[in-house]
Structure 1
Amino acid sequence: MSPLDVQQLRDSTPGCQSGIVHFNHAGASLPSQATLDAIIDQLHREARDGPMEAGEHGAVLVEKARRAAAQLLNAPAASIAFASSGSTAWSLAFQALGPWQPGDRILVGRHEWGGNLASMDLAVQAGARVEVIPCDASGAVCPLALESMIDAHVKLIDLTWLPANGGLINPAEAIGAVARRHGIAYFIDAGQAVGQVPVDVQALQCDVLKSAGRKHLRGPRGTALLYVRPDFLPRLNPAQRDVFSAPWSADGFDLRNDARRFETSEVSFALLAGLGNALQEMNRLGLEQVWERIAHTSERIRQALRQMPGISLHDLGTAQSGLIAFNLDGWDAFELKRRLALKRINIGANGVAYTPLDMQARGLASIARISVSPLNNDDDVAQLMTALQALRD
């Protein structure tokens, strides 16, 4: 992306005009004015015509969003469902994979998102075991180690692709190749990947993939997308059903034969209108050039942090994302986040609960996190480094 491209992106984003430097895109990014307009337009339509009466137009917008999500992931539109959060989407798919039996094995990366681990607790109560796939020398999930763990009792392989607590990019395609070779269900938590790196579900060979709308996609909070491989759909039996996901017929209530079996009749058309616009904007930008910009900016930040005394970087892996985990000597990560916010600079901070297996394995109580977007420019980087230097002194 050229400087002009970046400036045009910033000019269309109200948050970039506020004087706040935003480096918390992995928590929630900044929506464009067009995304806000799409939300507000649907709300106005509901207020004017009646909320239920405006639903017909809202349903058209939802299908546009579905097609845009499918284009972004290289998937058929029928394989996309929407949910209220990434955690909800993942949990719905996981619970639908049951029932769990004593002896069932669930293999996860050490960097697994804490919310996913919490959802697995019901399976553990039923007698299933959650086991951690060893890491390679770089700290990434090791496909060779995974291969050695496979037996007839493995029911699920689950991978958090880009973990929340740092810049690691796990080898999702290589893990997918192992899962497909052995015919084992493969779920990907792509909450930090979609909108940041190119995502092709065909190349990943995953059965389920989820992502939040509010992160790198720059959509509204309260939205998420769920991909389910069409051939895998019959294996998923959702417990949550209503007249939309399981329409009535003369023979009873039948689950839909597409990913909409995970949706319900009550949704926010306004929020999904906003998500649809954000997805269309991302498709127009192109994830390849988005990722190129993020990689360039995040590497500049990492280089500057390496040269600053008192900074410790906590990223893993050989290829790294736009999430930068660090600590500053003498500072609690959450207090550092608060002090930077007083200077009108937003970053993130994570405790053990976000990625408990990895944080405990590395002896980390918390990390501060910078997360980069194409919206960030050279002035943003300079302000961040000046503020960190001032706090260090």
Structure 2
Amino acid sequence: MTLDIARLRADTPACETLLHFNNAGAGLMPVPVQQALSEHLALEARIGGYEAHAEAKPKADAFYTEMAALLNAQPSEIAYIENATRAWDMAFFSLPLQPGDRILTHASEYVSNYLGLLLQAQRRGLEIDLIPSDASGQVDTDAIQSLIQPKTRLIALTHVPTQGGLVNPAEEVGRIARAHGLTYLLDACQSAGQIDLDVERLGCDMLSGTGRKYLRGPRGTGFLYVREGLIKELDPPFIDLFSAKWTGSDTYELAPDAKRFENWERFVAGQIALGTAVRYARETGLPTIETRVADLGATLRDALRDIPGVTVHDLGQRKCGIVTFTHDAHTPQDMTSALRARNINISVSNRTSAQLDLGARGLDHLTRASVHAYNTEDEITRFAAAVAAL
């Protein structure tokens, strides 16, 4: 499949006025997604929220089939959650971990996830074992074998860390997890919509993600995949009248599928729009998007390396569209402000959100300038010129 850049640009009119090297994959929303969002909000304004949901139920339900097709899963294995962090929380906090159980993770784990690990470690007496990085900076899969102990229960890994272009070898980790009977929780917040994901190929038991980044859906939307054979073993940290049925004065039954992780009260317009965004990405072609984004990321890194005083800090054997760098003469905050004045969007990652990763590298801050499939080589040239002219 050939990527139709003209279509992507036409569906992203903000590209013409904003040089959007986005916030770690927070892509601009396509016109069809905007329309789906605004149409349902308009329907709510006309007839009310409950009535609008009932009328638009087929559109809302389409989210499950679209997301399942994106991940090579079953619709019953998909839950709609309000954001990626809460999706990860619903999976992790549902696990029946006991005092002394051990969790394997990596220094690149997302800050909110790691805070969740620390919280449960303190509450339940769990142990966190940090998998070292290999020479390239990605998770060292060879080291995992030696870290697995009789009480090891879980591997938690971020597929694409927010603070760099690294793509962790998630499939190899999945093979190890399955071989040892370990539960495998994969954070795909930055990879969903950027990388062609297949939960069978990845070997993960649970996968969480957001709508607002590379999938180009609305903010306040997320999703969770849980393998069918695992769902009934999980006890959600909280439930409501949607995720469970009140069967008697002192009894209840959890939903038999992934809906046991959902809330009844939800952003219905967002669910419909996220389903539209997933369909848009699938129609564009995830393998094509993946190749395009990786190629643009490599072009951006090469352009930045040619600028005196700039150092690119991306790690890993495989890299993606998230590009991080520093400038000897400018702080990331100063660069962000100066470039924003020229209508160029970038962002900053700091040590408070990546204590283990950036701390080990001796870095306090990184500037992020990330590409999506709708960006062009000309925009990369213009961006590099703007950085060089600071």
* Paired residues of 1:164 and 1:354 also in contact (CA < 8 A): no
* Paired residues of 2:193 and 2:215 also in contact (CA < 8 A): yes
The residue aligned with 1:339 is 338
In 1, the alpha carbon distance for the partners of 2:263 and 2:70 equals: 23
In 2, the alpha carbon distance for the partners of 1:269 and 1:58 equals: 9
The residue aligned with 2:280 is 281
Deviation at 1:378, TM superposition (A): 2.4
The residue aligned with 1:222 is 220
The yes-or-no answer on 1:74 pairing with 2:48 is: no
The residue aligned with 1:30 is 28
2:209 is aligned, of 208, 211, 216, to: 211
Please identify, of 274-283 and 241-250, the stretch whose mean Cα deviation from structure 2 is larger.
241-250
Deviation at 1:43, TM superposition (A): 1.1
Deviation at 1:25, TM superposition (A): 4.9
Deviation at 1:121, TM superposition (A): 2.3
The residue aligned with 2:118 is 121
Q: Percent identity?
A: 39
CA-based RMSD: 1.4
Deviation at 1:258, TM superposition (A): 0.7
Deviation at 1:273, TM superposition (A): 1.2
* Paired residues of 1:66 and 1:81 also in contact (CA < 8 A): yes
Please identify, of 119-128 and 186-195, the stretch whose mean Cα deviation from structure 2 is larger.
119-128
Residues 185-334 of structure 1 aligned to structure 2 (within 5 Å) = 185-249=183-247, 252-334=251-333
**What amino acid does structure 1 have at the position aligned with 2:113?**
N
**What amino acid does structure 1 have at the position aligned with 2:325?**
F
Residues 371-382 of structure 1 aligned to structure 2 (within 5 Å) = 371-382=370-381
In 2, the alpha carbon distance for the partners of 1:158 and 1:99 equals: 13
Deviation at 1:204, TM superposition (A): 0.8
Deviation at 1:252, TM superposition (A): 3.1
2:104 is aligned, of 81, 85, 107, to: 107
The residue aligned with 2:157 is 159
Please identify, of 38-47 and 279-288, the stretch whose mean Cα deviation from structure 2 is larger.
38-47
**What amino acid does structure 2 have at the position aligned with 1:23?**
F
In 2, the alpha carbon distance for the partners of 1:59 and 1:154 equals: 42
Secondary structure at the aligned position of 1:54 is classed as helix
In 2, the alpha carbon distance for the partners of 1:221 and 1:372 equals: 19
The residue aligned with 2:170 is 172
Please identify, of 58-67 and 148-157, the stretch whose mean Cα deviation from structure 2 is larger.
58-67
**What amino acid does structure 2 have at the position aligned with 1:234?**
K
Secondary structure at the aligned position of 1:155 is classed as strand
* Paired residues of 1:352 and 1:366 also in contact (CA < 8 A): yes
The residue aligned with 2:85 is 87
Secondary structure at the aligned position of 2:387 is classed as helix
In 2, the alpha carbon distance for the partners of 1:333 and 1:371 equals: 14
Secondary structure at the aligned position of 1:176 is classed as helix
The residue aligned with 1:52 is 50
Please identify, of 376-385 and 270-279, the stretch whose mean Cα deviation from structure 2 is larger.
376-385
**What amino acid does structure 2 have at the position aligned with 1:345?**
I
Deviation at 1:59, TM superposition (A): 2.8
Deviation at 1:54, TM superposition (A): 1.4
In 2, the alpha carbon distance for the partners of 1:139 and 1:119 equals: 23
In 2, the alpha carbon distance for the partners of 1:58 and 1:23 equals: 34
In 2, the alpha carbon distance for the partners of 1:244 and 1:59 equals: 15
**What amino acid does structure 1 have at the position aligned with 2:134?**
D
The runs of at least 4 consecutive aligned structure 1 residues that moved more than 6 Å come to none
Please identify, of 35-44 and 217-226, the stretch whose mean Cα deviation from structure 2 is larger.
35-44
Deviation at 1:100, TM superposition (A): 3.6
Deviation at 1:41, TM superposition (A): 0.9
* Paired residues of 2:25 and 2:371 also in contact (CA < 8 A): no
In 1, the alpha carbon distance for the partners of 2:163 and 2:97 equals: 31
Deviation at 1:2, TM superposition (A): 5.6
TM-score by length of 1: 0.96
* Paired residues of 1:168 and 1:321 also in contact (CA < 8 A): yes
In 1, the alpha carbon distance for the partners of 2:287 and 2:349 equals: 28
Deviation at 1:205, TM superposition (A): 0.9
Deviation at 1:115, TM superposition (A): 0.5
**What amino acid does structure 2 have at the position aligned with 1:184?**
L
**What amino acid does structure 1 have at the position aligned with 2:62?**
K
Deviation at 1:362, TM superposition (A): 0.7
Cα distance 1:384–1:312, how it changes in 2: closer, same or farther (>3 A)? same
**What amino acid does structure 2 have at the position aligned with 1:378?**
E
Deviation at 1:239, TM superposition (A): 2.1
Residues 141-152 of structure 1 aligned to structure 2 (within 5 Å) = 141-152=139-150
**What amino acid does structure 2 have at the position aligned with 1:123?**
Q
Deviation at 1:235, TM superposition (A): 2.1
Deviation at 1:66, TM superposition (A): 1.0
* Paired residues of 1:25 and 1:373 also in contact (CA < 8 A): no
What per-residue deviation string (whole Å, max 9, x for no partner) do you get for residues 208-235 of structure 1?
Answer: 1011100000000000011001111122
Deviation at 1:272, TM superposition (A): 1.0
- Which runs of 5 or more residues in structure 2 are unaligned? none
In 2, the alpha carbon distance for the partners of 1:69 and 1:346 equals: 29
Deviation at 1:137, TM superposition (A): 1.3
Deviation at 1:342, TM superposition (A): 0.8
Secondary structure at the aligned position of 2:323 is classed as strand
